[in-house]
């Protein structure tokens, strides 16, 4: 059994990774400063002898070294997400997402870990209008956040070439599912809409609702992390992968599904009206991933198409928010 360091483990994706790998019998260390993550996400693991929390900041090199010592693998999730947050505060986003990332690469190299798998982002496709998105065709970044995630890929590649550190970047496409935070100014669209609909408040769509995304259920993302961590194919390492389903859904369709599934619990939700506002700065109109590379090199098979994922997520929110 391996010892896995999950940075950002108190967050949405990180806590799902913790749950999965603890269930598989691995040891899990979390490094988190609770900037956007929550202690309640870690509460189920705190008594588990295989679990350890290192409360610290990836901007602090000593914290990174402390957490990484003895780890076999790093699954690096800690970052400040959200395009609007990065537009409001590009300096802090850069400190965490770029300097913190570099600290973690150095710590992973110094600890001699077997592999460093990290959360990259579909925002790296930037202004490219090509669809579907293929890993080696990217555009120019459209936000400070997108720059930080692209720089992560550049640093990871250089660490592979210069120090022989094995790295794999997973370009996540709009991930959703249990434990994604519905609260705060930078909440992601699915938990925000679910919370608003549950409270009979009108969700606000930025634009006409025709923009589309490759919404990706958390279980598919966990599978990609596991496959990236364990693959033994040399040609599958030191590269990046789209982490998605390979299907796209418009915002209007998304709201239709959410209303349909939530109205199984509360029929009045079917009648909640939707509001429309201006487009948001830095938003691209459409996003759709090619997942061929992950299928071929990592044997990735997404288990949850969007509707199945939404149904599970809605059930989770209903039992946890109500």
Give the nearer residue to ligand NAD in terms of CB position, either 152 or 269.
Answer: 152
Give the list of residues 6+ apart from residue 18 with CB closer than 8 angstroms, or none. 6, 9, 28, 30, 42, 45, 51
- CB nearer ligand NAD, residue 59 or residue 109: 59
Helix (H, G, I), strand (E, B), or coil: what is residue 216? strand
Shortest distance in whole angstroms from residue 171 CB to ligand NAD: 7
- Let me know if 163 is a catalytic residue: no
Least distance (Å) from ligand NAD to the CB of residue 271?
Answer: 29
Instruction: State the residue for tokens 């705190």.
Output: 46
Hey, how many other C-beta atoms are within 10 angstroms of the C-beta on 126?
17
Collapsing DSSP to helix, strand or coil, 12 comes out as: helix
Distance from C-alpha of 171 to C-alpha of 244, rounded to nearest angstrom: 8
Residue 55 CB, nearest distance to ligand NAD (Å)?
9
C-beta of 79 vs 289, nearer to ligand NAD: 79
Give the interface with ligand NAD as residue ranges (CB under 6 A): 8, 10-14, 31-37, 57-59, 77-81, 96, 100, 119, 121, 172, 174-175, 181, 188
CB of 224: closest distance to ligand NAD in angstroms? Answer: 12
Q: Which is nearer to ligand NAD, 115 or 213 (CB)?
A: 213
Marked catalytic residue, from 73, 118, 125, 145: 145
Residue 203, classified by CB atoms within 10 Å of its CB into exposed (0-12), middle (13-18) or buried (19+), is buried
Q: How many CB atoms lie within 10 A of CB 277?
A: 9
Positions annotated as catalytic residues are 145
């Amino acid at each position: 059994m391996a010892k896995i360091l999950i940075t950002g483990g108190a967050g949405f994706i990180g806590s799902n990774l913790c749950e999965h790998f603890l269930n598989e019998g691995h040891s899990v260390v979390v490094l988190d400063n609770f900037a956007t993550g929550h202690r309640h996400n870690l509460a189920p693991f705190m008594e588990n002898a295989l679990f350890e929390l290192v409360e610290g900041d990836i901007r602090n090199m000593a914290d990174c070294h402390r957490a990484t010592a003895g780890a076999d693998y790093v699954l690096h999730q800690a970052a400040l997400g959200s395009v609007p947050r990065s537009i409001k505060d590009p300096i802090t986003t850069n400190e965490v997402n770029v300097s913190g990332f570099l600290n973690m690469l150095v710590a992973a190299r110094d600890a001699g870990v077997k592999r460093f798998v990290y959360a990259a982002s579909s925002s790296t496709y930037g202004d490219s209008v090509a669809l579907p998105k293929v890993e080696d065709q990217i555009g120019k970044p459209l936000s400070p956040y997108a720059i930080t995630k692209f720089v992560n890929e550049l640093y990871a590649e250089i660490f592979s070439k210069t120090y022989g550190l094995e790295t794999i970047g997973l370009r996540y496409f709009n991930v959703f599912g249990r434990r994604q935070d519905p609260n705060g100014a930078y909440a992601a669209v699915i938990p925000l809409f679910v919370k608003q609909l549950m409270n009979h408040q009108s969700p606000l769509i930025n634009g006409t609702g025709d923009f589309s995304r490759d919404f990706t259920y958390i279980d598919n993302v966990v599978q990609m992390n596991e496959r990236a961590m364990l693959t033994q194919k040399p040609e599958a390492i030191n590269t990046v992968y789209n982490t998605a389903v390979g299907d796209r859904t418009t915002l209007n369709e998304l709201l239709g599904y959410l209303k349909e599934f939530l109205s199984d619990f509360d029929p009045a939700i079917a009648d909640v009206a939707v509001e429309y506002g201006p487009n948001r700065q830095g938003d691209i109109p459409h996003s759709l991933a090619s997942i061929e590379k992950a299928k071929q090199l990592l044997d990735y098979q997404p288990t949850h198409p969007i509707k199945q994922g939404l149904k599970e997520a809605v059930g989770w929110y209903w039992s946890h928010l109500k």
